[in-house]
């Protein structure tokens, strides 16, 4: 009787042990395959980085501009790390060499946990030009920005840029850009925006010679108007593609924007903009696109294209000058940014 009881106990233990092993192996696979590499905190500065702080200690800087000014202009690769806080200033960058600016965050995956903001209030009317009004003005090639919110708080009444980007091989990752009119100027060169937030009302993604690819971002309208305003001098002079992104009404909007927002309008007749595999909210007018103005429509040679979009705003009869694509050929990241794009775009913000 004792021997039989012992055997039963042993069999029970072996069965339980086998069950635990089976459960562990099933549950461990998702953990191993989950894309965790980018969903991590960044709370300390990388080795060798200049540090910007609201309470700077010895060797640190109290403003972003002071840190930029302290960088050697010798073509070397440099990094600036910004600690938590709002920095009320305008920042201008024109040094040579790769520069990366990183904001402190509890989650690098996107903009939602950002705790660093660069803020300024300046209109183009007061500054003298669109570019001069920018809160962050990047006049250089080879630049990356991670997890920083950039705001121009001027509001309605004039163009007022959050970002003025003049340069190629720019990467903006998990960052937020806020204004009302002309929020992001992607003026020239190849530029990548991944997991970003862009808010505005009128022409708030615009430029003349830029090749910009917006990937898995949130584009939020705070008022009626067109999202994009592309103004190239020819059909080969610029291209904006917004891919796998969400177009929605901003929580800061003070009115219902249903049907009051357009995907874009042509700054010049050669405007080329495509929305591919996006979710378009009900704010998008059924025409999709609008003319520049009644006296100057600028629609002769535009390419205003859509491919594989969904959501309430993807339905309806589009404007006569709009194009419905049957594939995204010609509008991929490689087509927009160049065949070498994987060498300078952070692939962690592509493959997540």
CA–CA distance, 330 with 316 (Å, rounded to integer): 25
Pairing of strands 78-82, 170-173: unpaired
Residues 275, 306 contacting (CB under 8 angstroms): yes
Question: Residue 268 contacts by C-beta under 8 Å, 6 or more apart in sequence?
Answer: 208, 230, 231, 232, 233, 298
Of 130, 142, 182, 203, which one is the catalytic site residue? 203
**Could you tell me the two tokens for 7?**
């055997």
Residues 47, 37 contacting (CB under 8 angstroms): no
**Could you tell me the two tokens for 246?**
């969400």
DSSP string spanning 188-230? EEEEEEES-EEEESBS-EEESEEEEEEES-EEEESSSEEEEEE
Longest dimension (CA), the chain: 101
- Provide the 8-state DSSP code for 310: B
φ and ψ of 307, to 5 deg: -145, 125
Q: At 166, is the secondary structure helix, strand, or coil?
A: strand
- The H or E element containing residue 16 is helix 2-33
Active site (annotated) includes residue 301: no
φ and ψ of 210, to 5 deg: -85, 150
Q: At 155, is the secondary structure helix, strand, or coil?
A: coil
Give the residue numbers annotated as catalytic, written as ranges. Answer: 203
């Amino acid at each position: 009787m004792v021997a039989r009881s012992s055997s039963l106990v042993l069999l029970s233990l072996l069965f339980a042990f086998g069950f635990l092993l089976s459960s562990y192996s099933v549950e461990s696979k998702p953990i191993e395959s989950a894309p965790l590499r980018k969903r991590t905190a960044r709370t300390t500065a990388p080795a060798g980085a200049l540090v910007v702080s609201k309470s700077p200690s010895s060797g640190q800087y109290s403003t972003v501009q002071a840190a930029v000014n302290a960088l050697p202009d010798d073509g070397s690769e440099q990094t600036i790390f910004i600690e938590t806080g709002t920095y009320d200033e305008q920042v201008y960058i024109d040094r040579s060499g790769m520069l990366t600016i990183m904001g402190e965050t509890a989650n690098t995956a996107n903009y939602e946990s950002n705790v660093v903001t660069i803020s300024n209030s300046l209109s183009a009317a007061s500054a003298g030009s669109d570019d001069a009004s920018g809160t962050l003005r990047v006049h250089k090639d080879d630049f990356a920005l991670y997890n920083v919110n950039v705001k121009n708080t001027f509001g309605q009444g004039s163009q007022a840029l959050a970002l003025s980007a003049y340069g190629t091989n720019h990467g903006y990752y998990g960052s937020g850009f806020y204004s009302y009119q002309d929020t992001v100027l992607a003026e020239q060169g190849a530029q990548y925006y991944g997991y970003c937030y862009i808010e505005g009302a009128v022409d708030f993604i615009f430029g003349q010679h830029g090749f910009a690819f917006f990937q898995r971002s949130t584009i939020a309208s705070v008022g009626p108007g067109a999202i994009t305003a592309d103004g190239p001098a020819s059909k080969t002079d610029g291209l904006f593609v917004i891919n796998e992104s969400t177009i929605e009404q901003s929580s800061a909007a003070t009115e219902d924007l249903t049907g009051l927002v357009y995907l874009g309008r042509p700054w010049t007749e050669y405007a080329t903009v495509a929305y591919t595999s996006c979710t378009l909210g009900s704010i998008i007018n059924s025409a999709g696109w609008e003319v520049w103005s009644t006296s100057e429509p600028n629609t002769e040679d535009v390419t205003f294209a859509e491919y594989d979009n969904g959501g309430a705003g993807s339905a309806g009869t589009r404007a006569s000058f709009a194009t419905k694509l049957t594939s995204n050929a010609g509008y991929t990241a490689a087509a927009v940014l160049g065949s070498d794009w994987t060498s300078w775009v952070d692939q962690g913000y592509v493959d997540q």
